Structure formats: C-alpha cells, structure tokens
Amino acid sequence: MNLNSKSQSSYSVQDYKSRPRIEGIEIVDLKRFNDDGGAITELARLGEGIHAQLPGFVVRQVNYSEVEAGAIKAFHLHRRQTDVWYVPPGDKLLLVLHDCRQGSPTEGQTMRFILGDGNNRLVRIPPGVAHGCANISAQKGVILYFVDVQFSTGADCDEGRLPWDFLGSEVWNVVRG
C-alpha cells in the first residue's frame, strides 16, 4: 500500500530498542500481590540494613516525597550517597538521569524513562549521577526512596544542585506521537 506524498514525507517508525544504560544504574522489577481486597508490593527485605535485591546497598534512611502535578524537581546529585527510588504504580513520573562522573565509561550519558504508570520497580542511582523528575500526571505524585547516607543540613550535606534546565528544557518534554 502506498501513502500519498504528504503522508509519506511525515511518516516514521517509532524506535522501540532499549536505550543504553548509565553505568551503575540498576532497575529491579518488584512483585505486586493482588487479592480481592487490594494489593501489596514488597519494596525491600533488609538484613541488618542490607537490601536483599541490591547487593552492597545498606539502607540508612527511608524518605517519602510528594511532587505536585506538573512540577519539575531537578537536578540534584550526591558525591557519597546512593538513592533507590520507587514510584507507586498509580503515579507517573518522568525520571531523568545524567552521568556527571569524570572518567566514567558513561560520562555525559543521559537516561529518561517513566516510573510508576502501572509498574513496580526500584531504580538505584549511584553517587555522581544527577537525577530529577517531572510529574506528568494530573495528580500529586509520590516518591519513596531509600538512601545509604543520612540527610544533613550541616557542613557534611551531600545534596548538590544543578539547574533544572542543565540538559536543556526540552529534556522534560513529553514525547508526542
């Protein structure tokens, strides 16, 4: 079947290939157990603070964060801290990661993907990888996250910032098509 010339000139095929990952980023699919009364998702089994599904990751603090509909919370990064993020399946956040580590095999690489949106998974974000999110749903979104360094506002604070548009404002655009 042939398309008319106007349609043919705009026609493309979406790329469904996996995107390259930033070194150290881990994604763990979680199990959701459903019954007539609801559901449960196990986020972590801890043995003396060590997360069973993320070897070597010792949980020091667990946090709950809310992101207003349409808000962009970016970018921040840590020099010592590893984050492990979870977004409940009923929420939908665009996560953007960027490798800022000098000498890393994936230095300068960016990853964008959706958390929540019916999925249950954890994302491990190592030190030196800038991260932020945009709530692309019409309701407030939630992030539950585990960290291996306790938060401090003092001289040992490990929460650094980069401008929200560090990678250009278009990185936050929802791909339409």
Predicted confidence (pLDDT) per residue in 126-171, tens digit:
999 999 999 999 999 999 999 999 998 888 989 899 999 999 999 9
**pLDDT computed for residue 112 by the predictor:** 95
Report how far apart, in Å, the C-alpha atoms of 41 and of each of 5, 32, 104, 122, 165 are.
51, 5, 34, 11, 34
Predicted confidence (pLDDT) per residue in 47-80, tens digit:
888 999 999 999 999 999 999 999 999 999 999 9
Domains of the chain in sequence order:
19-29+60-150 (2.60.120.10)
In sequence order, the 6+-apart residues with CB closer than 8 A to the CB of 175 are none
Location of structure tokens 């881990």: 26
Predicted structure pTM score: 0.86
Cβ burial 15-52 (10 Å sphere, 16+ → b, else e): eeeeeeebebbbebeeeeeeeeeeeeeebbeeeeeebe
Question: What are the backbone dihedrals phi and psi of residue 65, each rounded to the nearest 5 degrees, phi first?
Answer: -130, 145
Residue 15: pLDDT band (50, 70, 90) is: confident
CA nearest 57: which of 153, 154, 121, 122?
122
Contact call for residues 131 and 54 (beta carbons, < 8 A): no
Predicted confidence (pLDDT) per residue in 73-122, tens digit:
999 999 999 999 999 999 999 999 999 999 999 999 999 999 999 999 99
User: What are the tokens at 33?
Assistant: 């157990």
**pLDDT computed for residue 8 by the predictor:** 83
